[in-house]
Amino acid sequence: MNTACTVELKRPSGLQPILRPRSVAVIGAGRDPQSMSGRLFRNLLSSFRGPVYPVNPKAPEVAGIRTFASIENIPEPVDLVFIAVPAASVLAVVEQCIQKRVKGLVVISAGFSETGAAGKHLESKLRELVHVAGIPMIGPNCFGVFNTDPAVRLLGTFGTAAPPRGHLGIGSQSGALGVVIPDYLQHWNLGASTFVSIGNKADIGETELLEYWRDDPSTRAILLYLESFRAPQEFRRIASEVSRHKPIVAIKAGRTSAGARAAGSHTAALVGPDRAAEALFLQSGVLRVDTLEELFDVASLLAVQSLPRGNRVAILTNAGGPAILCADVLAARGLMLPELTLGTQTELRRGLRPEASVGNPVDLIGSIEPVEFQRCLGVLMDSDEVDSVIVIFVPRDPAAAADVAKAVRETASVHRKSKTVLAVFMQTTEVPAELADDKTRIPGFQFPEAAAGALARVVNYVHQRRAHKKESIPTFPDINLDACRAIVSDALDSTGTDSRWLELPDVLRLLEAVGLKAPRSKIVSSADAAVAVADEWDAPVVLKIVSSTVLHKTDVGGVVVNVRGADLVRAAFQQVMVSSPGATGVLVQEYIAGGCETLIGASREEPFGHLLAFGCGGIDVEILDDIACRLHPLTDVDAHQMIHGVRTARRLTGFRGQTAADINGLQNVLLRVSSLLTIAPEICELDFNPVKVLAGCGGAFVLDARVRVSHTLSGGAATCSPDLR
């Protein structure tokens, strides 16, 4: 689907020469230290372990260093070249770099696809140039890269602050975020291994970054700011693998149409619908956050060695109010605040004033004594009753904060392996530096709700990653592959237009070929024929109008259910026929009594591929916008999570003592639909509504189905039925 992507994937180490070069040059290095290129050059000069060459034909020296007129004039080999010349000169300069056999490029220059059609054209020429030459490129229109490894020390950005060393790999599609990241890292007491501003992603994108960090021992957790995906299926494959070993946290901007429009005016990247992005993150094991603050709050927790083992939390505080606010957020996000056992309470009680409360929250009532925090935290960490502890300190005496921070860190360092400890210091200045030393780092927060929110995100993420371990994409040997292909190909052959809906008989044959249950069905064109069919089956029937012009058959009176007996069948036939003047016949279908109505759909959402949707109930799906989506192909876990992920799932799982519906049968339908999309990717839209799920092991029946196919693979998104989005 993405041929460009295949080429890139031949270079898993594409980032090596960019993030670990032996020598660098800056083409367009400016004399003005305040200019972007001037600052970039000086940053490299003052940081990088190897030689840094300025290229500038207009200035004899930059920052006291003799310049070269062009890259070709540099007598030594050059690994990495930063390009900071006007867009119009970039292609010529890149050609010189290719001649020079450089190993990597970072194109800072703007004026490419983000500016319109001409820029887009220039960018595609640039991409072609580096692809043919096989040189990995970051950018264009980017803020640069950095690597804090002491053996490399590459500060290849035009920022003013040096980023602290640490274990986060950070990738950003926003240059602005690159500007503020050193400040954010400092504030959150974090550090980064490497940072890449991917800009317009003409060559290197988010997937290549993930591959680099997968193999980079300095990187333990990954942060991404994204506005678009270039190759979502590749992202899914690689992120799924990487996230099993290193947590990935992402923020995706442009989730609303207003945001997407803002993104559109900012970068030429395709902003996909947010539902597809949401599904992609879920299926890739990526922890998605909603705000920048949350991104760093969560990172702060992930940078700790021992992640929470479960969802039980204790709060240790010297103030009731903030503890309640904290408890509210924990409970609202599904975490537990268990009442501590009497044994633990007795242990805690020792040495505390009688007014202290020890249930959970453990409230030291205004105490600012480090020893009380130390002792209580120790007791909590020794107990088996909780997995995490949130310490909340209100600095009635600001001087006490440092001592309490030290006490918390020291206590936690002794018990480091078993529990996750967070600390809230209710002050708007920085959290105390005493929370971290060389060995131990307690994530610090300024507000109780932020700590609780970050912990909840991480606990739920850890839980989900565990649950994800055994997933697989099932295959169905009984699916009649040839029949499926034939039905779809024939339909496409028989039409000159770009896309078409399958005829009802073809849809029925397709259901059978995929091994899906459907009620006995027959299309008739007279009341007599309808009566004959019902007679033959000797069962109650449903009559439905067959018409290519009716979207919602029920709304126009085109459906009559549960009819039995010649007279009633005849009357139903008449009623259905008058409902729609353009009717081409009537479908007589065996009536399936009982069960729960669900909906299964799929549509092509480029660049994501097919997005599958599941909903429970009739018109409510639309009223409540209650659907769960996942990208094709579905794993067994995906199908399970879709069914249980809608708010109305209780309708299926057995409500008020009713028998649960056949969820296995339903899951089977979802997975077979996904298989069908693999067999026949020309299906651009599919709408099974309703799919009736019977109780017990009764199976799931597709009562109504519409399938649209198209020659081209990008026609799906615009015309999909609104139900599915």
| 300 in Cβ contact with 454 (< 8 Å) | yes
Give the residue, chosen from 15, 85, 106, 327, that forms a contact with its own copies under the rule CB under 8 A.
Answer: 327
The smaller minimum CB distance to its own copies, of residues 225 and 608, is found at 225
Asked if 86 is part of the footprint of its own copies (rule: CB under 8 A), the reply reads: no
Asked if 427 is part of the footprint of its own copies (rule: CB under 8 A), the reply reads: yes
| 476 in Cβ contact with 694 (< 8 Å) | no
CB atoms within 10 A of CB 33: 11
Listed in sequence order, the residues at least 6 apart from 686 whose beta carbon sits closer than 8 Å to its beta carbon are 600, 601, 602, 603, 673, 676, 677, 705, 706, 707, 708
Give the residue, chosen from 77, 164, 343, 359, that forms a contact with its own copies under the rule CB under 8 A.
Answer: 359
Taking the complex as a whole, the smallest distance from the CB of residue 337 to its own copies amounts, in Å, to 4
The smaller minimum CB distance to its own copies, of residues 337 and 673, is found at 337
| 185 in Cβ contact with 430 (< 8 Å) | no
Nearest to 423 by CA among 584, 218, 189: 189
Calpha distance 311→253 (Å, rounded): 29
Taking the complex as a whole, the smallest distance from the CB of residue 173 to its own copies amounts, in Å, to 7
Beta bridge partners of 250: 224, 288
Per-residue contact track with its own copies, 182 to 211, x per CB under 8 A? Answer: -xx-xx------------------------
Number of shown-chain residues binding its own copies (CB under 8 A): 94
With 0-12 / 13-18 / 19 or more C-beta atoms within 10 angstroms meaning exposed / middle / buried, residue 445 is buried
* Region 140-169 residues binding its own copies, contact defined as CB under 8 A: 158-160
Asked if 312 is part of the footprint of its own copies (rule: CB under 8 A), the reply reads: no
Taking the complex as a whole, the smallest distance from the CB of residue 558 to its own copies amounts, in Å, to 13
* Region 530-559 residues binding its own copies, contact defined as CB under 8 A: 552, 555
Asked if 705 is part of the footprint of its own copies (rule: CB under 8 A), the reply reads: no
Asked if 385 is part of the footprint of its own copies (rule: CB under 8 A), the reply reads: no
Taking the complex as a whole, the smallest distance from the CB of residue 325 to its own copies amounts, in Å, to 5
For the chain, the 3-state helix, strand and coil shares in percent, each to the nearest 5, are: 40, 20, 40
Give the residue, chosen from 32, 61, 290, 482, that forms a contact with its own copies under the rule CB under 8 A.
Answer: 290
Listed in sequence order, the residues at least 6 apart from 526 whose beta carbon sits closer than 8 Å to its beta carbon are 573
* Region 607-626 residues binding its own copies, contact defined as CB under 8 A: 617, 619-620, 622-624
DSSP for 154-172?
EEEE--SSPPPEEEEEEEE
Calpha distance 471→236 (Å, rounded): 14
Report the 3 state secondary structure along 15-71.
Answer: CHHHHCCCCEEEECCCCCCCCHHHHHHHHHHHHCCCCEEEECCCCCEECCEECECCH
Asked if 83 is part of the footprint of its own copies (rule: CB under 8 A), the reply reads: no
Asked if 251 is part of the footprint of its own copies (rule: CB under 8 A), the reply reads: yes
Phi, psi angles (nearest 5°) of residue 302: -70, -25
Asked if 328 is part of the footprint of its own copies (rule: CB under 8 A), the reply reads: yes
Taking the complex as a whole, the smallest distance from the CB of residue 619 to its own copies amounts, in Å, to 6
The smaller minimum CB distance to its own copies, of residues 186 and 413, is found at 186
Give the residue, chosen from 91, 92, 176, 342, that forms a contact with its own copies under the rule CB under 8 A.
Answer: 176
Give the residue, chosen from 30, 171, 232, 254, that forms a contact with its own copies under the rule CB under 8 A.
Answer: 254
9 DSSP 8-state letter: T
CB atoms within 10 A of CB 398: 12
Taking the complex as a whole, the smallest distance from the CB of residue 528 to its own copies amounts, in Å, to 30
Taking the complex as a whole, the smallest distance from the CB of residue 288 to its own copies amounts, in Å, to 13
Calpha distance 233→324 (Å, rounded): 43
* Region 428-457 residues binding its own copies, contact defined as CB under 8 A: 428-429, 447-450
Give the residue, chosen from 89, 124, 257, 305, that forms a contact with its own copies under the rule CB under 8 A.
Answer: 257
CA atoms within 13 A on the CB side of 695: 9
* Region 654-683 residues binding its own copies, contact defined as CB under 8 A: 655-658
The smaller minimum CB distance to its own copies, of residues 256 and 664, is found at 256
Give the residue, chosen from 433, 650, 712, 713, that forms a contact with its own copies under the rule CB under 8 A.
Answer: 650
Taking the complex as a whole, the smallest distance from the CB of residue 291 to its own copies amounts, in Å, to 4
